[in-house]
Every structure is written in C-alpha cells, then in structure tokens.
C-alpha cells in the first residue's frame, strides 16, 4: 500500500522519542515540527530524518480508509503501548 497524500496521521498521533528540533522527542498527539503545510515531511530524504520515520511502512491496518481512521488507530496504539 502507498502512503496517502494529505494524511500525516503518523506524524501527529504517535510519540517519537528522538526528533531533531524537538527536545525530549515528539509527544503523542502533537504535530511534528517537520510536517509541512501540505502534510509532507520536510526531512524526507535527509540524514536528519529519524530512522523510525523512514522505516514506517504504510499498512491497511494502520492507515485505514481515511485520515481520521488512521489518527484514531494510531492514538489507540499509543494508549496501549504507553507504560
Ligand atoms: S497514516 Fe498511513 S497514509 Fe497516513 S501518513 Fe502515515 S503512512 Fe501515510
Ligand atoms: S520527521 Fe517527517 S516523517 Fe518523521 S514525524 Fe516528522 S514529519 Fe513525519
């Protein structure tokens, strides 16, 4: 499956422990500072982009049918995996 243009859910809902320019990492539910207005990644292809971002593969389960579904699924995953 391909990443859906105009989504950006996985750059907003999850926490990301290390993020350039975000001391302490990106909190869950907070828009990544590198997410552009058109919901593309400003660090795409650059060495500063966290490896977990590059390694994340779109999937039917995570991405769902639309952006709202992806945000909901990722928010629930974050809740389930937060100690
Ligand atoms: S949730 Fe899926 S479709 Fe949305 S930005 Fe992430 S990978 Fe792309
Ligand atoms: S660095 Fe890019 S891919 Fe990673 S969360 Fe931020 S905007 Fe998304």
Residue 44 lies in a domain: yes
User: Which residue owns the Cα nearest ligand 1 atom 8?
Assistant: 3
Residue 50 lies in a domain: yes
In this predicted model, what pLDDT tens digit does every residue of 44-57 receive, in sequence order?
999 999 999 999 99
Residue 76 lies in a domain: yes
Tell me the three state secondary structure of residue 76: helix
DSSP 7-72: --GGGTSS-BS-BTTBTT-BPTTS--TTB-TTS-BTTTTSTTS-HHHHHPPP-HHHH-SSHHHHHH
Residue 41 lies in a domain: yes
How many domains, in total, are found in the chain?
1
Sign of the alpha-carbon dihedral angle for 10, 57, 77, 53: negative
Task: Locate the ligand 1 atom nearest the alpha carbon of residue 8 and give its number.
Answer: 5
Report the percentage of the chain scoring pLDDT > 70: 100
Task: Locate the ligand 1 atom nearest the alpha carbon of residue 3 and give its number.
Answer: 8
Q: Is the pTM of this model over 0.85?
A: yes
- Domain with 38, as residue range(s), is 9-81
């Amino acid at each position: 499956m391909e990443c859906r243009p105009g989504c950006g859910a996985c750059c907003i809902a999850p926490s990301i422990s290390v993020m350039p320019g975000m001391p302490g990492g990106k909190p869950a539910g907070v828009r990544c500072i590198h997410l552009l207005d058109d919901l593309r990644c400003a660090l795409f292809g650059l060495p500063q982009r966290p490896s977990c971002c590059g390694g994340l593969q779109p999937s039917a389960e995570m991405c769902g049918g639309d952006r709202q579904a992806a945000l909901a699924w990722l928010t629930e995953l974050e809740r389930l995996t937060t100690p």
